[in-house]
Each structure stands twice: as C-alpha cells, then as structure tokens.
Amino acid sequence: MLTALVTIDPSYTIGPVRRRTFGSFIEHIGRCIYGGVYQPDHPRADADGFRTDVIDLAKELGVSVVRYPGGNFVSGYRWEDGIGPRDGRPARLDLAWHSTEPNLFGLDEFVRWAQVAGVEPMMAINLGTRGVQEAVDLLEYCNISGGTKLSDLRRRNGAPEPHNIKLWCLGNEMDGEWQIGHKTAEEYARLATETARAMRMIDPDLLLVACGSSNSKMATFGEWERVILEEAYDLVDMVSAHAYYYEQDGDIGSFLASSVDMDHMIDTVVATADLVKDHKGSPKQIGISFDEWNVWYQTGPTAALPTGDNWPVAPRLNEDRYSITDAVVVGSLLISLLRHTDRVEAACLAQLVNVIAPIVTEPDGRIWRQTTFHPFAQTSGLARGEVLNIQIASPLYQTRQYGDAPIVDATATWDAETGSLVVFAVNRSQSQPVDLAIDVRSLPHLIQAGATSFAEGSQTTPQTNDTVRIADGTAHVIIPPVSWNVVTIRRER
C-alpha cells in the first residue's frame, strides 16, 4: 500500500486560523439572490422575504463573511436603485448576466440578511462604470450615523444605526476584458488609489481590497498586481485573487491537483507585494483576499447566458451539480488557503446558493446540500487555533498541467486551549488507498483519534473512518482513493 507521513510539531506555526477564511459570496446572478436568499412567497420566508432554510444551512456551513453584490454584476450596478420603498425601485438591464434586475433586494436588505445570518458583510463597489463620488456616497449612506443627506436617507429607509461595513472591495476583476468598464492596470491603479484615498477621508480604518488578477492564467498576472500596488500600496490592505477549477478533457489527475495552481497564485502575489514593499521601504504588509474560488465547469445546461431580446429575471445560470471528486478538490483548495493563513486574510467560496454553490434551493420548497458543502462545513467547524507548519512526505504522481504533484496533501490546526489537533488531508490517487501516518510525538498527551472520509462510492456525506489507530505517538489511517479526510486527535476525555 502507498504510505505518506505527516509530521506535526506545535512549535512550528504559520499563523492563526482566521474566521474570514470561511467567507462566501452572494451576487445578483441567476437564482442566487432571487429564489435563493430572497423568496418572499416561500413557506420558510421570514417577514423580510429571506429564506430561513437558506440561512440555516449558511449557518451550518459556518460561513463568516459574505461578499455582495458582485462579481461582474457590480461593474454596472447603481446601488441607489436598490434602496427605499420597493415600489419606487427601477428594473434595469443587467449587462453582466443578460438579465433583468428588479432591485427588490438591495443594500439594506443585504445588511439585514447578514445580521440574521450572523455573517460579516463585505461590500464591493462599482469601479467599472462609476468612480470616486459614487463610492464615497455609498460609504456615507452605509457608515455615517446621521446628520447628512445620505445617512439620513438610510435612516428614513428603516436603518437608524449605521451599517458599519468594514470590508470593501474596490471593484471586481478589472483586469478582465469581459468586465464592464474593464481597465488597464495603470487606469485601474489611478482609480482605485483615488477611490481609496477618498474613502479613507471618511473612515481611515476601513479594510480595502484592490482588484488583483481574475486567475493565474491572465496574461497580465503578476505585472497587474505590481502596477496596482506601486500606486495604491499605502492606501489598501489587501489585493484580491480569484480562481475557478474544473476537470478538462477527462484529465482528473490535473483537476485533483488544482491546489498546486492556487498555491502558486498565492505565492506569486505574495512575492509581488513584498517586492513592492521593498521598493517602498514600507513596514506595511499587504494581505490577500481570495474572494472568489471554487470548482466551476462553465459548461452544461445552465451555462449559456440568455441572448437577444430575452432579459429574464433570475434565470437558472451556472447551477453546477457537484460530484465527490469536486468536493475533494474543494477540500484541497481549503488546505491551500489555510496553509497560507499568514497572508490570506479573507476568502470567499463563490457562491453561496444555487450559482456554483454548496446550497441548492428549488422554488417549490426543497433545499439541499451539494457534496462541496461538506469539506467546507467540516473545515470551518473544526479548524481552530493555529495553522501548523507541518512536514508532509508523500509519493508523487505525474499530472499533465502541473508536473509532479504529491498524492497526499494536508494541513493541520492545533487548538492549545482545547488540546485538539485536526489534520485535513486529501488522497489524490485515483486507484490506491494510502496508509497515512501522523507523527504526534511532540504532543505526547494526545492519545485519542477519530476520522472521517468522503470518497467516491461511499455515501453522500463524510463517513466515519474506522481504520484510524493511535499508538506510540503516531496515528495511522487508511485514506481511500480520491478522498477528503479529517483526522481529529485529542486528549482522552
């Protein structure tokens, strides 16, 4: 049998587990908002029209931060359309998704929804068709307590307290030519810098995210980040990264190794940011907001946008159905994000409901969890304390896209308070189980181990893995081919 060894030492840490790593995203696209988070005629809708079954599952998923309102949608959005009495709100063409936006759900509804769901709002502003003035207007509306035109308008609209939104994205994917109002790096750098400067005149303590690259294959990747940060360094806190992966041409091996690309993307952005830091002689360190990531096939029955005169409200778009292999890849991407907890300060699984989502609703009432729900819920539920800098000795396999990749990838978190070690691991072999050894001799009081595995051919949820044993400071567990695994090692209770 193949073997792999993970060596743990709690004195080697990468950084704290950050709750913001477990963010998600709701965009005005397809049935994410309408028929997803908002469906007033649904039996489980509350007085605001929010589906409480969706809120319940978002809580079970352990989502911390939610980004809104886009995505590509935000680059043509007028936030003022979505506030005030609903009968005065206009319907508009949504160019990004060739749909009609009825504006029945807007800014104030989002903030209320976030409160009910117990998540932190992350607001994206339109730097595609709009600019500095609209951004500061939005900030005044949201975060000033009262006594000005826009803050008083918010109060009249039913929100007497300021929304106090701390996290702001300065546009979305401005490097992409598909983006409404797409810009060159130089153009975007000017606009983002001046927008950030003006926003900080209202509140210097905001956390501002500049747009990074839409994926690591962009021709401008790296240079884009350098140009933006050379100009905006002192005014922003994070630069974004986005990445979507899917199985191409039956190449499951490369697909399972997708986190090699995510690791590379993060490392490249960190190197670029630190290069600029060095140029500037700045003591400040830029973080990464990996605010869109997931498996996304971009093919299939709901992939095509409406065309021509057809501008539907909330059509079924990008409603991918996920397999266990997809869930294993999602798990491996979570491993990559945790492994970079020193620099990844926020991350958003795109998206939360219906559109490339872990949660699916049907208009007639049904709601269900996709396979990808489980690795996310387990990781957000169990990762606590510090992410450890573990050593992994794993056999390699050859991939078409990434060269040699480890068959086993893993990360571990250590919660000194509860004395609980959790190892998250994937087996990327398509045919062979792996005997995974976890050396915990540095934590001699840990003597009780439990494990779950999620693998093709098992059930639709992770199952208890009975093979786990611990003796003489080493835990052993047999992890099945193409599997997501969670091993918890504790003191005896």
d(CA 410, CA 223): 31
Q: What is the nearest approach in angstroms of ligand AHR to the Cβ of residue 48?
A: 25
What are the phi and psi torsion angles at 46 (to 5°)?
A: -90, -170
**Positive/negative CA dihedral, 322, 326, 332, 333:** negative
Nearest to 290 by CA among 230, 242, 248, 223: 242
What residues make contact with ligand AHR under the rule CB under 6 A? 27, 70-72, 172-173, 292, 350-351
* Shortest separation between residue 43's beta carbon and ligand AHR, angstroms: 29
Angle at 347 between CA 344 and CA 350, to 5 degrees: 150
Q: Which of 173, 225, 231, 247 is catalytic?
A: 173
Active site residue 292: yes
Shortest gap between Cβ of 362 and ligand AHR (angstroms)?
21
The first and second tokens of residue 168, run together, are 């702001």
Catalytic choice (292, 319, 345, 386): 292
Residues 25, 418: Cα–Cα separation, whole Å: 31
**Helices 132-143 and 107-117 sit at what angle, rounded to 10 degrees?**
50
DSSP state of 256: H
Q: How far is the CB of 124 from ligand AHR (least distance, A)?
A: 9
Report the b/e string of 121-133 with b at 16+ CB within 10 A.
bbbbbbbbebbbe
Number of separate helices (H) and strands (E) present in the chain: 10, 26
**Closer residue to ligand AHR, CB minimum distance, 72 or 151:** 72
The residue among 87 and 177 lying less far from ligand AHR, judged by its C-beta, is 177
Nearer to ligand AHR, 73 or 414 (CB): 73
Instruction: Reduce the DSSP state of residue 224 to 3 states and report it.
Output: helix
Integer Cα distance of 67 and 347 in angstroms: 10
Nearer to ligand AHR, 169 or 207 (CB): 169
Nearer to ligand AHR, 72 or 427 (CB): 72
Distance between CA atoms of residues 97 and 319, nearest Å: 14
Q: How far is CA 381 from the centre of its chain?
A: 15
Per-position DSSP letters for 191-213, written without gaps between them: HHHHHHHHHHHH-TT-EEEEEEE
Q: How far from 88 is each of 80, 82, 83, 85, 104, CA to CA, in Å?
A: 11, 9, 9, 6, 10
- Asked whether 487 and 475 are in contact (CB, 8 A), the reply is yes
Q: Which of residues 111 and 350 has its CB atom nearest to ligand AHR in the complex? A: 350
Cβ pair 454, 461 in contact under 8 A: yes
Q: Whose Cβ is closer to ligand AHR: residue 254's or residue 318's?
A: 318
Spatial separation of the C-alpha atoms in residues 30 and 442, rounded to whole Å? 50
Q: Provide the 8-state DSSP code for 45.
A: B
Handedness of CA 319, 352, 338, 449 (dihedral sign): negative
* Complex with ligand AHR: residue 246 or 397, whichever CB lies closer: 246
Structure-token pair, residue 268: 């490249």
CB of 179 to ligand AHR, least distance (A): 8
Catalytic residue IDs: 173, 292
